[in-house]
């Protein structure tokens, strides 16, 4: 079975004087840490922990050592400790579970609080590499997160798969774009869809949300019901901008912490801000794939070992025989040739 990882590095090293004891404790449970004379280096070879369980006594000491600091987590942790104290002594245990995926915020917000107070750090950049123990088509990619005192910007190889706003008819085609993929574990589990997103028109969004529309507040998100594979979830986002409310649909992963509703929302916001951090070649490939019709397919067992299951495309040029290539292997000239007009 493939082992998916998100190898992560936080830069620069963070001076001990810039962190409260509480922040230091929480970050040490999210990442691995190496303390140096000029700061602490945070990283992880696996994936950042989104669910941490510090000892109750260590958490209490850390909170008591962080009074008056401008940290959004002080009150949250104080409430968790109060709830712990309210339990019967026999039910307390030794650890307190802290979920860093709630609306309270997670480790990016901890880092942002540090930047806001610091006199030496203007921004923190978090680099991530998506890797896999097997050569899987969905197992590799990357992301970058830029954290300043006023913003958290994120971009990744998460894919926008449609240009413009999709109509109800286009939504159906986008949701079924992998229906002809080979019968493999990647298709059955839904990994082929994980990380894909697109913007849709309001009527299509309302039709997709159905009865769940009432629970979707402006700027919020809802997980849609349906017969989806076991490793992905279908999510509908509402984003409020200066132009009004916009609607986005995406597929997030249950098992990969790099493709969560929070990271996808951040990627969409960064992409739609007009200042994407990473190249958008992948988005161009997705547009080519959507428009290819009968010229698109998947590599089968006749391809060289290691290529099976990867997407293919037929290149047609006047005066030449058609050529079959892996979609990912298109050169810049071929991408421009095949790119459909908006």
Q: Each residue of 130-170: pLDDT tens digit?
A: 776 666 555 566 777 888 888 777 666 556 666 678 888 88
Tell whether 14 and 131 lie within a shared domain: yes
Q: How far is CA 154 from the centre of its chain?
A: 9
Q: Under DSSP, is residue 35 helix (H, G, I), strand (E, B) or coil?
A: strand
Domain boundary among 236, 252, 278: 278
Together in a domain, 102 and 137:
yes
Domain boundary among 150, 168, 202: 150
Shared-domain flag, residues 128 and 203: no
Q: What is the mean pLDDT of residues 305-312?
A: 75
Q: Is position 15 within any domain? A: yes
Contacts (Cβ under 8 Å, ≥6 apart) of 302 = none
Residues 140 and 95 in one domain: yes
What is the rounded average pLDDT for all residues in the chain? 79
Boundary (domain end) residue, out of 249, 278, 307: 278
Contacts of residue 219, defined as CB under 8 A and 6 or more positions apart, other chains included, come to 238, 239, 240
Roughly how many angstroms between the first and final C-alpha of the chain, as a whole number?
40
88 and 218, same domain (yes or no)? no
pLDDT band at 42 (very low <50, low <70, confident <90, very high): very high
Residue 202 inside a domain? The answer is yes
Do 176 and 261 share a structural domain? yes
- 20 with 86, same domain: the answer is yes
Q: Is residue 71 part of a domain?
A: yes
- 139 and 169, same structural domain? no
Q: Where are the beta strands (DSSP E) in the chain?
A: 4-11, 32-36, 39-44, 51-52, 98-99, 124-132, 141-147, 152-156, 159-166, 196-200, 221-223, 232-241, 244-253, 296-298, 311-315, 323-326
Q: How far apart are alpha carbons 151 and 252 in whole angstroms?
A: 23
Look up the domain containing 163 and give its range. Answer: 159-278
pLDDT band at 10 (very low <50, low <70, confident <90, very high): very high
Q: Are residues 268 and 315 in the same domain?
A: no
Backbone angles phi, psi at 165, to 5 degrees: -105, 130
Q: What percent of the chain has pLDDT over 70?
A: 77
Number of domains making up the chain: 3
Degrees (nearest 5) of the Cα angle 217, 252, 140? Answer: 145
Express each pLDDT in 169-178 by its tens digit: 888 888 877 7
DSSP bridge pairs for 145: 126, 154
Q: Read off the pLDDT of residues 202-245 as tens digits, 9 standing for 90 and up.
A: 888 888 877 666 566 676 777 777 655 567 888 888 887 766 78
């Amino acid at each position: 079975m493939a082992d998916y990882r998100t190898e992560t590095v936080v830069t620069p090293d963070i001076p001990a004087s810039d962190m409260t004891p509480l922040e230091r404790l929480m970050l040490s449970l999210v990442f691995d840490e190496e303390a140096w004379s000029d700061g602490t280096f945070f990283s992880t070879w696996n994936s950042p922990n989104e669910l941490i369980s510090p000892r109750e006594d260590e958490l209490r000491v850390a909170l008591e050592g962080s009074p008056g600091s401008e940290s959004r987590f002080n009150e949250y942790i104080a409430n968790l400790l109060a709830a712990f104290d309210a339990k019967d002594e026999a039910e307390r245990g030794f650890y307190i579970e802290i979920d860093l995926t709630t609306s309270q915020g997670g480790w990016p917000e901890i880092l942002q609080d540090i930047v806001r107070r610091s006199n030496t750090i203007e921004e923190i950049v978090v680099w991530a590499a998506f890797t896999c123990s097997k050569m899987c088509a969905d197992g590799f990619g990357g992301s970058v997160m830029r954290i300043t005192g006023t913003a958290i910007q994120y971009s990744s190889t998460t894919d926008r798969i449609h240009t413009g706003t999709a109509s109800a008819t286009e939504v159906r085609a986008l949701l079924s774009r992998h229906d002809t993929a080979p019968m493999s574990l990647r298709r059955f589990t839904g990994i082929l869809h994980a990380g894909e997103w697109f913007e849709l028109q309001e009527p299509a969004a309302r039709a997709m949300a159905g009865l769940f529309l009432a629970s979707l507040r402006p700027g919020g998100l809802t997980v849609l019901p349906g017969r989806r594979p076991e490793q992905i979830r279908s999510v509908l986002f509402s984003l409020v901008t200066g132009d009004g409310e916009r609607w986005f649909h995406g597929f997030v992963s249950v098992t990969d912490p790099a493709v969560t509703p929070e990271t996808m929302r951040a990627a969409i916001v960064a992409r739609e801000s007009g200042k994407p951090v990473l190249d958008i070649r992948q988005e161009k490939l997705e547009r080519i794939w959507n428009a290819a019709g009968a010229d698109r397919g998947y590599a089968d067992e006749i391809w060289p070992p290691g290529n099976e299951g990867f997407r293919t495309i037929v290149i047609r040029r006047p005066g030449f025989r058609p050529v079959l290539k892996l979609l990912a292997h298109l050169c810049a000239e071929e991408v421009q040739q095949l790119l459909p007009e908006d």
